[in-house]
Amino acid sequence: MTDASEHAIYRAAIQGDRDAFEMVIRAMSRNLFAIAYGILQNREEAEDVVQDTFVKAWKSRWRVRDSAKLPAWLGTIARHRARDLARKRRPEPLPENFESNEMVAFEGAAGQKADLDGEVRSALAQLPELHRAAVTLRYFEDLDYGTIEQTLGLTNGALRGILGRSLGLMRKRLKPALAAIG
């Protein structure tokens, strides 16, 4: 998809063309899911957030004045919704017990994998929201930095710092596990 045709679609979507908006949904839903998952760490909730984001965006699409910023705008909505949801469920206990149960249930290589999974998850949980979103966007969708910056509404070059810091922190935290595997 070239830039020009993309922009045309964005403009049509903002002006109320449903087909265009559905094309935007198809193009953007995975990215938004990645952002939401990064923040919430829960697939169902993330999917709900994506859903809500598009409905809300459709209803207030006339607020977008620069059609080029539509992805960033959608990203912002998704991030805000996900954060609201995360705050709301904070009193809920962390699912670490559940993980440990699983660990008990499965052993061997599978158990090791599950263990690693939990470690990665908790390492990710340490990061700030934006960083988490950036990481999930990168690893879920394998997007290049430019697209990620566009989606998160970041200025040129900021992502490199964010991802570098994120991975650095995670590396330090996962050091023991990495050593074991290595």
Partner 1 sequence: MATIHEQLDELLAADLHDELTAAERDEFHAHLVECAECRQAFQEGKTMNRILNETLADKKADPAFEQRIVSRFRDRVPKRAGLIGLITDLMRVRAVQLTAAAAVLLALAQMGKMLTGEAMTPKARYEETVSSHLEARLQEKDQDKPGAFRDGGTFEKTDDGRTKTAEVAALKAPPPVPPMDVVTSTVPRPQTEALRAAGLTKTKKTAGKDETAPASTAETNAETPAEPSASPSSVGPTANRKLVRNATAELEVVSFDESVQKITAFAAEEKGYVSTTSSEKQENGKLRGEIVVKVLPDNLDRFLGKLRGIGELKNQALTTEDVTKAYFDTESRLKNARLMEQRLIEILKTKSKDVADLLEVEKELGRVREEIETMQGELKFMDSQVAFATVTITLAEKNMNVPAAFLLKERAQLSLYATEVEKTYNDIKALASPKVQITNAQIDRDNTGRVSARLSLLLAPEESDAVINKVKGMARVENFQVTTDRVSQGGDGLGENAKTERDKVELNITLSHDEQEIALQSTSLRIQTPEVNDKTKQLRAIAEQQGGRIRSSSFSRDPNGREYSTVSLRVPMKNYNALMQSLNGLGKVENVSVRRDDRPNSQIDEANAPADVSIQVYSEGNIVSEETGIWATLRRTIGQGAGALMWSVRMIGVAIAFLAPWALIIGAVGWVARRVSRARAARKQTREEEGGQS
Contact 173, 124 (CB under 8 A): no
Residues 129 to 148: which contact partner 1 by CB under 8 A? 135-136, 138-141, 144-145
Minimum gap (Å) between residue 144 Cβ and partner 1: 7
Nearer to partner 1, 4 or 151 (CB): 151
Contact 165, 131 (CB under 8 A): yes
Neighbours of 118 (CB within 10 A): 18
Residue that the structure tokens 């930095």 belong to: 145
Nearer to partner 1, 72 or 167 (CB): 167
Return the exposure string of 154-170: e unless at least 16 CB atoms fall within 10 Å of the residue's CB, then b: beeeebeebbeebeebb
Residue that the structure tokens 């690893």 belong to: 139
Residues 36 to 95: which contact partner 1 by CB under 8 A? 37, 43, 47, 50-51, 54-55, 58-59, 61-62
Residues 90 to 129: which contact partner 1 by CB under 8 A? 116-117, 120-121
Minimum gap (Å) between residue 133 Cβ and partner 1: 13
d(CA 94, CA 99): 10
d(CA 13, CA 70): 9
Give the residues lining the site for partner 1 (CB under 8 A): 15-16, 18, 22, 25-26, 29-30, 33-34, 37, 43, 47, 50-51, 54-55, 58-59, 61-62, 116-117, 120-121, 135-136, 138-141, 144-145, 160-161, 163-168, 170-171, 174-175, 177-178, 181-182
